[in-house]
Structure 1
Amino acid sequence: MSSEQQSFTVVLVDDHGIFRSGLRADLGEDLQIVGEAGSVEQAIEVIESKRPDVVLLDVHLPGGRGGGGAEVLRGCAHLLGTTKFLALSVSDSAQDVVTVIRAGARGYVTKSISGPEISDAVRRVAGGDAVFSPRLAGFVLDAFGGAKVHEATGIDEELDSLSDRELQVMRLIARGYSYKEVAKELFISVKTVESHVSNVLRKLQLSNRHELTRWAVDRKIF
């Protein structure tokens, strides 16, 4: 681990011990696992006790009132300002994705993700980004994006200053896409993406993509 790399504390929540063991082995050295849980009740207790930077949260958990990961989020709602939650599940259903995001999760990735990818996702969520497996991001956009954007553009001069393409790029960047992923999604070059991001940051008077993510989340347009 680089001496300059920031370290983050993590709690693992999954009802399969073998999967938790795999995560322990796969996560980067800068990600310190401070607790684990296998049920709704255990999760709320451990998260309350440890107050980690990030919780890797399975969507379907035993216990509680049957609410799974969303119930854990609701039980820890008072911690959402300091503890970030990243949903990690075998499920890629729109209902599961939207339910946990509505409850307060900052992202959602599937369990097919690799060790380096999940480590990067944890770091990005800890840093304020919203992170989604690419094919799942559309569910969030459908549930939260379209109507909110159209409502906002009528009254938000900053949003009005963005072109349609800049708005598309901004939303993908805010959802955690890399420049390369944005380029692939929109069928444009990485240099064009960089140019659009530069224009967006200038128009919105922001310094970096982390500030852009927070700006978009505040307006519920990610």
Structure 2
Amino acid sequence: MTIKVFLVDDHGLFRAGVRAELERGAAGDPPLEIVGEAGSVDEAVAGIAHLKPDVVLLDVHMPDGGGAAVLARVRPAQPDVVFLALSVSDAAEDVIAVIRGGARGYVTKTISARELGDAVRRVEAGDPVFSPRLAGFVLDAFSDRPGAAPAVDPELDLLTKRERDVLRLLARGYAYKEIAGELFISVKTVETHVSSVLRKTQLSNRYELSRWASDRRLV
């Protein structure tokens, strides 16, 4: 049976490459048909509703909200659609956010074409699929064992994506100027983000922030 796949990624060249590789497939594999694609959240929501794919390959970060926004808008109306996140990011909070949102798996863009095709078939069949090092994030986040990261962290959820980026680098020991260079923002903007994180977490200094970030596996 042909599996209908919908691609969501804001880079058209990447979508074209994935389409070509998946539709080429390999002899003996169940065929994959790319029934549609989208480069934004709104396009994705409309396309998925119209085309009713079996599996959605979902980019995590896009300018207008990304994978979490697509999940939030699609899953209530179409709970049978299966989502597989495909991202350059291997950050724990990104993995956990889309799995909380309802994705069945998460793989990084370093995956081979053959492995990606296999991942699509596996999630469509009901299996959870993760790139090897990412599975531990999910196990920890949804585990009840002592020391595991909580499945829901209200304090962490208060932070924006950029605040988390700044916090992660800060916890790794980067100076404000180095953080600014890594994220292509000004030192003043870094200071603003750090002040905002301190206010939201009710902590006093970067050392407390570093420990707080480490406890939540952001580092």
- TM-score scaled to structure 2, two decimals? 0.62
> 2:126: which partner in 1?
128
Give the paired residue count.
141
User: For residues 102 and 80 of structure 1, what CA distance do their matches in structure 2 show?
Assistant: 16
User: For residues 33 and 58 of structure 2, what CA distance do their matches in structure 1 show?
Assistant: 16
Displacement of 1:62 in angstroms is 2.1
Q: Does the 8 Å contact 2:75/2:81 carry over to 1? A: no
User: For residues 80 and 107 of structure 1, what CA distance do their matches in structure 2 show?
Assistant: 17
> 1:36: which partner in 2?
37
Alignment pair present for 1:118 and 2:116: yes
Letter of the aligned partner of 1:130 in structure 2? P
Q: What do the CA deviations read for 1:41-61 (whole angstroms, capped 9, x no partner)?
A: 111111111110000000001
> 2:55: which partner in 1?
54
> 2:3: which partner in 1?
8
Displacement of 1:79 in angstroms is 4.7
> 1:204: which partner in 2?
none
**Structure 1 unmatched runs, 5+:** 1-5, 149-222
**Structure 2 unmatched runs, 5+:** 147-219
Displacement of 1:147 in angstroms is 4.3
Identity %: 63
Runs of 4+ in 1 over 2 A off after TM superposition: 78-81, 145-148
Matches within 5 A, 1:93-172: 93-147=91-145
Letter of the aligned partner of 1:103 in structure 2? G
Distance 1:86 1:79, change over 3 A: farther
Structural RMSD (CA): 1.8
Q: Does the 8 Å contact 2:68/2:101 carry over to 1? A: yes
Q: Does the 8 Å contact 1:10/1:56 carry over to 2? A: yes
- TM-score scaled to structure 1, two decimals? 0.61
Q: What do the CA deviations read for 1:5-38 (whole angstroms, capped 9, x no partner)?
A: x310000000001100110111127110111000
Distance 1:145 1:80, change over 3 A: farther
Distance 1:147 1:50, change over 3 A: farther
